[in-house]
Chains A and B, each alone.
Chain A
């Protein structure tokens, strides 16, 4: 079942429009839908001409649809505060400094951004009981793909950490011969407990992504975009996640046959190349192309969304989530 639907693709191909249109379609079919944007530029708010924040909020004027915008920066600093608060709960002030520096450093690494986003994704999926469908408008390709490959990678890594920690504690216990107090004990070790909780979190995430998620990629009819999409399909495949379908966006509208002149000639040749590229994409990319959407002169807003949604031939599985 596709409870979680991800839209990915290169920057600027129109992921927000397509994912919003899909969410709109779901909502129109009567499914309680949540649209989640992770793009720091936040165009979902612009599209619906409303402001959203970190908490899901009902979209005005569209029934059954809620939206939220995740700000990774905010997530990172919240995580930083969390860890620091725990630190000051545990420790005397004199000890804090060296460790504090390490914590700051960890939150400045390039991976922090992705990890924070990933955490939030999984939280939204885990707490999404109120929704029949959750649609993710993801940030551009590279980041998203790495995000989705995190669970598998991290699970293995945590396994190794757990094993190391267990072994060293075991040795500390063995070293305590003759009734000495061992330096560390296995029972109730907070580090082991924490690692185990994390592992469970990643397992959950991996399971949800493999079993309940569908992935769609959006591309434009230009060769760069098509190549990028091809790579994205391969990489998702490597993670055991298959791309359900492709959406080709931003097609040039053809001029009327009786129109002549430079503009019309230009448009005609553009339409021709785009048609060729679409054929190439159909031939070379294995997931089916589910929709081809023409460029809109104006920005797509709520009133236009319905017509974009109509062009999307992604089947909205109308069955609601079985209420357990």
Chain B
């Protein structure tokens, strides 16, 4: 299991449940390696800042991680980690390889902005 403080997704079922129960989800699928650790760290920090987003990780090498690995959005990826952003269960963005805090927050702000949500519900 990954040694992070994030919610771990351990199976396809857990993955499905998480998407069902949360509107905005960011999943980092990787290993305990150099390109992945900085992404987990940023996610751990952002958990407080983005309470409307569910942050989770999934180990790249478990068979059930096929739910991420086999996504069409990840077809051309050849760099860990694979990070997938879901809105209402649908993939809205996927990235490959290390990402900085700025890159991650700009995706979160673009797709999971609370303002967008607030205006939509008004």
A binds B: no
Residues of A within 8 A of B (CB): none
